[in-house]
Amino acid sequence: MKKNIGAVLALYPSPLIVVGAMADGKPTWTLVAHAGTMAHSHLMVSLVQAHYINKGIRENKKLSVNVVDASWLKAADKMGTISGNKTDKSEAFSWTMGDNGAPLIDDAKVSVECEVDGNYELENFDHFVCRILAVYADEGVLNEHGKINYHVFKPVLFEFPTYEYFVTGEKAGNCGKMDL
């Protein structure tokens, strides 16, 4: 029998990302756990409105989504413990400017450069609706067809409300090919 545990967030774990944007002429970064796919062409990134990075995103309409793996988890985690309103985070990572004007973290094996199409404000959060402009992937995580190989690239997942990190694991099946 199932128990009603209330109106709680239950779509976890989810991919852990570090969002990058230019603010006041330099890059800034923040750890994000509330993000997701909206369509094949769009992502949604949800940030508390008080974050310093939101100012840069609103002004420039560009951001990067840098997918975290275990190789740089410690540095990524730190971006969730310090405030850009109090600390300059511009030198937290080595970075490269993407073709479309968003800073990309060099250590991220997968980075997505986006342009903000809109912002849905709800409960003190900015929910940025972002068009995917380009995906940058380290060649070491690509398969022979140029697609991301998740047997090699193992993103870190974030679980809420326990605040634990997990790494993606073994294959469970093939979509649309599971005999009942």
79 within some domain: yes
With a cut of 80, say whether residue 180 has pLDDT above it. Answer: no
Do residues 13 and 156 touch, judged by C-beta distance below 8 A? no
71 within some domain: yes
Is the pLDDT higher at 8 or at 130? 130
- pLDDT (tens digit, 9 = 90+) per residue, 47-99? 999 999 999 999 999 999 999 999 999 999 999 999 999 999 999 999 999 99
176 within some domain: no
178 within some domain: no
pTM of the model: 0.95
With a cut of 70, say whether residue 28 has pLDDT above it. Answer: yes
102 within some domain: yes
Rounded-to-integer distance, Cα 141 and Cα 109, Å: 7
128 within some domain: yes
- pLDDT (tens digit, 9 = 90+) per residue, 149-161? 999 999 999 998 8
Q: Look up the domain containing 36 and give its range.
A: 14-167
With a cut of 80, say whether residue 116 has pLDDT above it. Answer: yes
Number of domains in the chain: 1
User: What's the CATH code of the domain at 94?
Assistant: 2.30.110.10
Q: Which residues pair with 130 in a beta bridge?
A: 43, 116
Polymer length of the chain = 180
